[in-house]
Amino acid sequence: MARDKLSPEALVLIYLRSQRGWAQQELADRHGYTTYRQLSRYETGDRPLSRETLDALAASLGYSPEAVDALLFIHSLVAPAEREVPSPVAPTAEERRSIHRTAIAAGWSTADEVREELLARKRRLKAESARRDAGKLWARLKAHPRLSRRELVAGSPELRSWALAERVCEASVRAAADSPREALDLADLALFIAQRVEEGGEDWRRHLEGYAWAHVANARRVANDFAGADEAFVRAWDLWRAGAAFDLLPEWRMLSLEASLRRGERRFNEALELLDRAGRAAEGDPVASGRILLKKEYICELMGDLDGALEALTEATPFVEASGDLRLLFALRFETAKDLCATESYAKAANLLPEVRELAERLGTELDLVRVVWLAARISAGQGRRAEAIAGLEQVRRDFTARGLYYDAALSSLDLAVVYLKEGRLVEVKTLAREMAPIFQAQGIAREALASLSLFRDAAQQETATVELAWRVIAEIEKTRSSAPCLEKGWRGWG
């Protein structure tokens, strides 16, 4: 058989052996032939080479049947069998060549797309599996005392997992609302795990360490260590960028955490810029996009930009609704109603109130229900139903104080004082000021907030307090609250 008439199978065998760099004798030895002559006859076309034999030889070379399929398919595109029957409408030789070229391009493009899709799917499935395993590993690890966890990680290879480091980072963020110390312990543990991960190579480990350092920075922020948080973020970004580009860990999370730090430092414009970058990085993830825009709303609120806050909520609406996340939907509706109250759009806020209440009931969290009562009282006050407002504000003020939520206790007390002042009930305002005593004894209340409250308390005792003074103190407390050590007990968990 002439050399230019070699079968596709013979050409595939020649290619695979050459690609591996093996001589015919080496393949013969690996495959169990006593001499290379049998291979030579296959490759020269002197003996037919069946697909079954080709697959067996390919396996000896370390290639799969799928690799053989791919090469045979490519051959069919490059040198298609001539099946054209002569007829008046038969394509010319040039037309056939043009069609062949198009088929080759289409076949290659399709194969490339399928390969990338399959690779991406495999990466996604492996990541999901690793994260499921990490959930089980974390449940096991967190049952041990804090001081023994590092020892367990050091002695257990299965605990030195990238997915476990990520899971502990998430635990640190959740803990931040209740305990800055625990948040820092967990972030340090995540970093300890990340530094000992062996899978994925050095570039991946640097990337993971950078992610963990960002959570260390966040934990330092909620502990009011802004300088330490700044230093940690420098290390986080240096390590993140030193590693190769990976899409396994969400960069938007790091940007969002840094935005929280800039917010706490009252560098609001920088925080908003970071959130814009986070939003671009989170494109396609409705939950992440919704969280980022809710955080943007809070910053606009702190800046006194109520129009910007409402615009952020409007932008967040399609993402939050698409996410199906009940907590985010409650946050969206609650914050929208609250901002409408701030712009004195009480009728619009009242229209949202039934849905806000229903969502709070579905969530079943007592604190959410208390805040709905607070919202309803604000709406009642704005619409002139002062008796309803007073009853609601008295209830939430007592509840916040009993729960140790002293910023909220102060703000709801001042809301109540505004209603009393509008009715000229100065004696009640004086009594209310005296009942604020637990707030002044609380830990973690900013000095500026206490100074403003002291000013109001003194004015109330002298019966010189005014609505304008109460509003000014409310604004001062809201401003200082943004840089408080942590957001109280999970409230604004999206922020």
Domain map of the chain by residue range?
3-80+96-117, 365-495
Residue 492 has pLDDT above 60, yes or no: no
pLDDT of residue 201: 85
Q: Which fold has domain 365-495?
A: 1.25.40
pLDDT of residue 76: 76
pLDDT of residue 104: 65
pLDDT of residue 490: 40
Same fold for the pair 3-80+96-117 and 365-495: no
In this prediction, residue 179 has a pLDDT band, given cuts at 50, 70 and 90, of confident
Residue 11 CA to residue 29 CA, distance in Å, equals 21
Mean pLDDT of 16-24: 91
In this predicted model, what pLDDT tens digit does every residue of 51-64 receive, in sequence order? Answer: 999 999 999 999 99
Mean pLDDT of 277-290: 93
Give the range with max mean pLDDT: 17-21, 65-69, 257-261, 441-445: 257-261
Residue 450 has pLDDT above 50, yes or no: yes
- Asked if the 3-80+96-117 domain carries CATH number 3.40.50.670, the reply is no
pLDDT of residue 303: 87
Residue 488 has pLDDT above 50, yes or no: no
In this predicted model, what pLDDT tens digit does every residue of 252-280 receive, in sequence order? Answer: 999 999 999 999 888 999 999 999 999 99
Q: Which of 106 and 383 is assigned the larger pLDDT? A: 383
What percentage of the chain's residues is helix, strand, coil (to nearest 5)?
Answer: 80, 0, 20
- Angle, helices 306-323 vs 286-302, to 10°: value is 160
In this predicted model, what pLDDT tens digit does every residue of 205-256 receive, in sequence order? Answer: 999 999 999 999 999 998 889 999 999 999 999 999 886 666 789 999 999 9
Mean pLDDT taken over the chain: 87
pLDDT of residue 493: 46
- Nearest residue to 296 via CA among 283, 318, 279: 279
How many CB atoms are located within 10 Å of the residue 287 CB?
Answer: 17
Pair 107, 73: CB distance under 8 Å: yes
Q: Model's pTM, two decimal places?
A: 0.72
- Nearest residue to 428 via CA among 392, 394, 451: 394
pLDDT of residue 487: 43
In this prediction, residue 333 has a pLDDT band, given cuts at 50, 70 and 90, of very high
Burial pattern 414-449, b for ≥16 Cβ within 10 A else e, equals bbbbbbbbeeebeebbbebbeebeebeebeebbeeb
Q: Which of 89-93, 282-286, 333-337, 384-388 is least confident?
A: 89-93
In this prediction, residue 83 has a pLDDT band, given cuts at 50, 70 and 90, of low
In this predicted model, what pLDDT tens digit does every residue of 137-174 receive, in sequence order? Answer: 999 999 999 889 999 999 999 999 999 999 999 999 98
Residue 31 has pLDDT above 50, yes or no: yes
Pair 209, 163: CB distance under 8 Å: no
Give the range with max mean pLDDT: 240-254, 380-394, 479-493: 380-394
- Nearest residue to 76 via CA among 48, 47, 108: 108
